[in-house]
Amino acid sequence: MTLLEKAKTIKWERFGKWLTPVLMDVMYMGQFSAHYLKELGLDRRVENLFTLDGEYYWPEEEHQAFLAFFRNALKKQGVRFLRDFRDIHVRNVARTTARIDNLREVSIKGLDTDQLLVVFKEFMEIPKSSMGLNYFFILLEEALYNFVKQLFGSDARMDVLLGELTPPKQPAHVIQEEEDLLKIAIKVSKQGASAEELIRTHKAQYAWLASLNWNVPLYDDAYFLDRLSNFLKNDPERLLAQRMTEREKREKHVAAKLEEINASQELRQAIDLLRDLMDVRLAQWDTVSLSGYYARPLLSEIGNRLGLSYDEVIELSPQEIEDGLKGKPISKGIIVERKKHKAVLKIGDNIELYQGDQAAKFRETVLKEDIQAASDTLKGITAHPGIARGIIRIIPTPLDLSKMQQGEILVCPMTNPDYMPAIRKAAGIVTDQGGILCHAAIVSREFKIPCIIGTKIATKIFKDGDKVEVDADKGIVRKM
């Protein structure tokens, strides 16, 4: 039986969407031979995965088996399991960050092809563990919901309370960038400092924030200058002071709310660990972004030697890049087809790539998605409470960010740091995927945006221009 024939016998479930190029897809799947959580008692690996045009699928059977492990671990070990899970990720972030720093020190100028290939292979290993561990974060989120619900007991306000009690402990890099930009605005308005010079330094520090998927254009001077201009119109000193005050109030609110609901010691520990996990998950994403950002010169140089652009190189598999550097011709036609449609299939230790019309047909021949009929009401999980009304803007990928207008309701498969330009404009956020530790949950709490996650089908049943009410107090989106 071929891999494709095997894939047709599997019942696949979608668990996320990332605008990833082929290079990242194959790296992501190829590292799953590792047993990442063996020290926590998970003595099995991910056997099968499938991605089609950025949508990721796992077998229903494997999903349920992994989910059963996490639910059982939380039931038996409780917060101790969360603490151990957190510590594994903290160690991974530290290791990966150190390897990224080493990559930054490598000079590719003057390297011969064999030396360049060695550096490429070393680079390939850097982000793998962060990519793989994110898979288990998704599973933990799903298991966590019922675990936390039990700790809240009979309190029907759990979703709203959870949103109030679990803001990140540390400002994410996207928040730090915004506050540093406010400081630049203050220097420009109060001291007459040169905006262009300060922005060049700012860009050098933060341009990597748009590189989670490696194929989205990096932030340029114009992007930062435009946002700086908006800050200068709105009293940046007041805005920055307001943010600092709100952060202090938020911590006091968390403490007061825990007292108000008479939270048990275990619930307090769980809330504290959830906040830690949010911070470390963002840090883990950052390692993937930084890996891609600092590898751009390397991948661009590989492209120069293969007669390809950077955007073409990242649509090749690692093996194809290695073969190309060793002299095997590369078909640009395949890259063109992959930019139309692409699929990557992992069955056991084997990975196959498909492109063009063949890949496009897999939605019918391999996937058997059951999409509900259109409805005026959709239910999800509250990430941050509040009510917002507005017009829906569906943003399938970060390449569609320019469509987002101020005050619209952002609807997308799931957010990540590349979505920040749209998030800043959103009156409300609704996602297909995501749990209580997802990016949308984290940033909506930071920016106080009503947010509903985990609807599964929001991007399928709503369309641009629909007028809706996002009632994040109840986890419901209604057409108006």
Strand-pairing partners, residue 75, are none
Burial, 187: exposed, middle or buried (Cβ in 10 Å; 0-12, 13-18, 19+)? middle
Query: Which pLDDT value is given to residue 34?
Result: 62
DSSP state of 210: G
DSSP at 176: H
User: Is residue 457 scored above 60 in pLDDT?
Assistant: yes
CA angle 53, 212, 110 (to 5 degrees): 105
Per-residue pLDDT band for 82 (boundaries 50, 70, 90) equals very high
- How far is the C-alpha of 45 from the C-alpha of 65, rounded, in Å? 11
pLDDT value of residue 373: 54
Q: What pLDDT sits at residue 372? A: 56
Angle at 43 between CA 42 and CA 49, to 5 degrees: 85
Give residue 156's pLDDT band: very low, low, confident or very high (50, 70, 90): low
Distance of CA 369 to the CA centre of its chain: 23
DSSP string computed for 299-367: HHHHHHHHT--HHHHTTS-HHHHHHHHTT----HHHHHHHHH-EEEEEETTEEEEEEHHHHHTHHHHT-
Measured in whole angstroms, the distance separating CA 83 from the mean position of its chain's CA atoms is: 22
Taking CA atoms, 287 is separated from 77, 97, 184, in Å, by 29, 6, 26
Q: What is the dihedral of CA 243, 245, 247, 248, to 10 degrees?
A: 170
- What's the whole-model pTM score? 0.89
Distant-in-sequence, close-in-space partners of 111: CB < 8 Å, separation ≥ 6: 119
| Cβ burial, residue 190 (10 Å; 0-12/13-18/19+) | exposed
On whether the CB atoms of residues 455 and 438 are closer than 8 A, the answer is no
CA–CA distance, 290 with 37 (Å, rounded to integer): 24
Query: Residue 369: what pLDDT?
Result: 63
Looking at this protein, which amino acid is placed at residue 16?
A: G
Tokens 């190829």 belong to 30
- Residue 134 is classified by DSSP as H
Distance between CA atoms of residues 288 and 131, nearest Å: 7
Q: What is the per-residue pLDDT across 4-22, written as a single tens digit (0 to 9) for each?
A: 999 999 999 988 888 899 9
- CA angle in degrees (0–180, nearest 5) for 217-220-225: 140
The pLDDT value recorded for residue 66 is 93
Cα(418)–Cα(439) distance, integer angstroms: 11
Specify the domain boundaries for CATH 3.50.30.10 within the chain. 377-479
Computed over every residue of the chain, the mean pLDDT equals 91
- Burial (CB < 10 A; 0-12, 13-18, 19+), residue 129, is buried
Does pLDDT of 33 surpass 70?
A: no
The pLDDT of residue 386 is: 93
Res. 37 pLDDT band, cuts 50 70 90:
confident
* Mean per-residue pLDDT, 134-160: 84
Query: CATH number for the 377-479 domain, one of 2.60.40.10, 3.40.50.2300, 3.50.30.10, 3.40.50.10420?
Result: 3.50.30.10
The 10s digit of each residue's pLDDT in 89-130 is 999 999 999 999 988 888 888 899 999 999 999 998 898 888
